[in-house]
């Protein structure tokens, strides 16, 4: 079985061009670590760019501070023929 842990990279190396990526959100006292799909974007008109959840909607963005994120990896390619 392949070791998928080697595919994770430091969040500081993540692309800041708007593409969606997978990221590990660090654990807290209230929640265990989890994986989120995020992107580097403007959370609102005129706001400074930051990491936001890819499923953020018109009612508001889910914003992540750099310190909340540990690792990232690119999304896998979709299967051929789909």
Predicted TM-score (pTM) of the model is 0.83
Q: State pLDDT tens for residues 19-57.
A: 999 999 999 999 999 999 999 998 877 789 999 999 887
Tokens of 80: 């051929």
| Cα–Cα distance measured from residue 70 to residue 15, given in angstroms and rounded to the nearest whole number | 14
| Sequence-distant (≥ 6) Cβ neighbours of residue 3 within 8 angstroms | none
């Amino acid at each position: 079985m392949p070791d998928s842990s080697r595919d994770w990279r430091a969040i500081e190396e993540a692309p800041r061009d708007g593409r969606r990526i997978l990221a590990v959100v660090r654990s807290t006292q209230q929640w265990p670590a989890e994986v989120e799909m995020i992107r580097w974007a403007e959370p609102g008109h005129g706001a400074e760019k930051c990491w936001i959840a890819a499923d953020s909607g018109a009612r508001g963005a889910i914003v992540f501070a750099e310190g909340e994120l540990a690792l990232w990896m690119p999304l896998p390619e979709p299967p051929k023929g789909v």
